[in-house]
Chain A
Amino acid sequence: MQKLINWLEKNIMPKANKLATERHLKAIRDTFMTILPPIFFGGIIAVINSAPAAETTTNGFLLAWSNFVSSNSVILSWLNTVTLGFLSLYVCVGVTYYLAKSYKMETFLPTIIAIAGYCMLTINPTEISYGNVLGQLTYFDGKGILVALFVSIMTVELYHVLYEHKVGWIKMPDTVPPALMVSFGSLVPCLIVLGIDAIIFILCHNFAGTCFAAVVINLLSPAVSATDNLWFAILVGFLLNFGWFFGIHDTVWSGFLGPIEYGTLSVNAAALAAGTALPHVFTVSFWCYFGIIGGLGNCLALGLLCLGSKNKEIKTIGKLGIIPAFFGISEPITFGLPIMLNPLLFIPSILTSVVNVTISYILMSTNIIGRTYAMLSYNMPSIFGAYLSTGDLKAAVLIVVLIALDMVIYYPFLKAHEHSLAIAETQVNEK
Chain B
Amino acid sequence: MKNVMLICNGGMSTSILANRMNELLQGKYEVAAYGEQDYVDHLEGVDCILIGPQIRYLLPDIQKMVGENIPVESIEPRTYGTMNAAKVIEQIDRMTEK
Contact = CB atoms under 8 A, between A and B. Distances in A.
Contacts of A335: 53-54, 77-78, 80-82
Nearest to B61: A21
Contacts of B57: 13-14, 16-17, 20, 248, 252
A57 interface: no
A108 B8 CA distance: 29
B13 A336 contact: no
Nearest to B60: A17
Contacts of A14: 57
Contact of B37 (A34, A248, A321, A324): A34
A23 to B, nearest CB: 12
A238 B88 CA distance: 32
B83 A340 contact: no
B82 A320 contact: yes
A33 B54 contact: no
Interface in A298-340: 316-317, 320-321, 324, 329, 331-338, 340
Contacts of A333: 81
B37 A336 contact: no
Contacts of B61: 17, 21
Interface in B1-33: 8-10, 12-13, 16
A333 B78 CA distance: 10
B5 to A, nearest CB: 17
B56 A329 contact: no
B55 interface: yes
Nearest to B75: A335
Nearest to B74: A247
A392 interface: no
Interface string B34-73: 0101000000000000001111111011000000000000
Contact of B81 (A13, A30, A338): A338
B58 A17 contact: yes
A415 interface: no
Contact of B55 (A249, A329, A378): A249
A299 to B, nearest CB: 11
A82 to B, nearest CB: 25
Given A34-B37, A331-B13, A336 B55 contact: no
B77 A332 contact: no
Per CB-CB distance, the 10 closest pairs between chain A and chain B, nearest first, are A336-B81, A335-B81, A331-B13, A249-B54, A16-B57, A335-B77, A17-B57, A249-B9, A336-B82, A13-B57
Interface of B: 8-10, 12-13, 16, 35, 37, 52-58, 60-61, 77-78, 80-83
18 contacts: A13-B56, A17-B57, A20-B58, A21-B58, A33-B10, A33-B35, A33-B37, A248-B57, A249-B54, A251-B9, A252-B57, A331-B52, A332-B16, A333-B81, A334-B81, A335-B80, A337-B81, A340-B77
Given A20-B58, A33-B10, A317-B81, 18 more contacts: A13-B56, A17-B60, A20-B55, A30-B37, A33-B37, A331-B8, A331-B52, A331-B54, A331-B81, A332-B16, A332-B81, A332-B82, A332-B83, A333-B81, A334-B54, A335-B54, A336-B81, A338-B78
